[in-house]
Amino acid sequence: MEKIMTYPVVIVFTPFAIIMTVGFIVCAALLGAWARSVTVSRPPLLVSNPQRVGKLPVMGYNTWNAYYCNINETVVLETAQNMKALGLLDVGYNYVNIDDCYSEKNRSSSGDIVANKVTFPSGMKALTDKIHALEFKAGIYSDSGWFTCQLYPGSYLNEDRDIKLFQDWGFDLLKYDNCAVPFDEIIKEGMVGKFTRMANAIKKLSEESGKPPLVFSLCQWGRNEPWNWARTLGQSWRTTNDTYPEWSAITSILNQNSFYSWASDFYGHNDLDMLEVGNGNITFDEAKSHFTAWALMKSPLLIGTHLSSITQDTLTVLKNTEIIAINQDPVYGTSISPFRWGINPDWTYNATHPAQYWSGQSENGTVFMLLNTLDEPADMFFRLVESPWTRAGRQYSVRDLWTHTENGTAVRNFTAKSVPAHGVVALLLKDAGDEPAGTLPPCSTLEWCMGEDGTLINP
């Protein structure tokens, strides 16, 4: 066996080596401390948020469509009283919202928005106290720019101040408009950033005050595709330009929203704009179509007609509790969506003849909306399995949500006879068990329909 030789090892530390070694140890220690601090300070994922608001679409009244700038505290209070007397609160309309033109043209010497001394002499807190005493919530209006659309003070650069004022005044909701945009060299933000300023102010105030945040309704007319980003900021977002009381406005808005109906869900809703039911020359059938589409697409439902002279037909539309129940469904928050465009090829963009055949889920069954966009009555036919929410080989009981009647059982298909011009049929289909044995053809959809022996059923 060879003898193992051993030698002493001598380590020499030069000044350079000492500096590098110490530097490495210090850097490693700092990096470790930073990593630990990042891990500790990262906010936990919130499973639930007890302060979250706006799960379901807002229902209520907004002053703009009926009164424009001709508002005062008497008008607002009488509107709330009429809503209660007419039973609108009982069916879910629980917000009374004040739109533009309620303030003085200039802020106070301390920088606050001031309620108009002539039209709102009692002040906003006194008014919201009366609204709350009637069991309603109250909404207010402002703008993300220098001024509102009617050139009253906007909230740009005053977001924290204004949202605190609105909360102190007793308001529960803020409608936030998109006029008087600051020059680019001043704002240095796009559409998302401009509305994020107020969203951050609302969140900050809620955290500091311990009170629920105001419901935030973004009114930016569908600019920059808010259905892709506004959910992170507020509870509803306008998807189009303003509506007006004509059938052409209803079909245009419905057409545009057919392409992003998927975006509505709990805590975030496509806002198709305020209701025009009871206004202009909209017919009874057009009003039913308008209300059905807005409600089933999970838009906020904000009345905007003169309640002191409201007709029974208008009340019949606004108080359809079976339609409202779909809008306020606690189980499914998603909108109905088109499954067939009808007179146009699918996915056709047509402002006068939008998609006609729609369906969606509800806690009590599958909802169908059949919209006749023609200027004459028409039969409307569909196969049940065209909707993704119905099953093959099953039959369904049919509930008409406007006649409030049970209309038998549908097997494989359904035809609505003589739907009025510009009219609507709203149905709730519930599973009623297996379809009758031997129903032919063997498949309701013949594409690749095949027996277990390999027999292909050709369409």
> Which residue segments constitute the domains of the chain, with CATH numbers given?
59-327 (3.20.20.70), 337-434 (2.60.40.1180)
Q: pLDDT below 70 — which residues of the chain?
A: 1-50
Give the closest residue to 265 by CA, choosing from 239, 294, 235.
235
pLDDT at 458: 82
pTM passes above 0.85: yes
Question: Do β-strands 357-362 and 215-218 pair in parallel, antiparallel, or remain unpaired?
Answer: unpaired
**Catalytic residue annotation:** 177, 242
pLDDT at 48: 38
pLDDT at 332: 98
pLDDT at 171: 98
Question: Do β-strands 59-62 and 301-303 pair in parallel, antiparallel, or remain unpaired?
Answer: parallel
Question: Whole-number mean pLDDT of the chain?
Answer: 91
- Read off the pLDDT of residues 267-319 as tens digits, 9 standing for 90 and up: 999 999 999 999 999 999 999 999 999 999 999 999 999 999 999 999 999 99
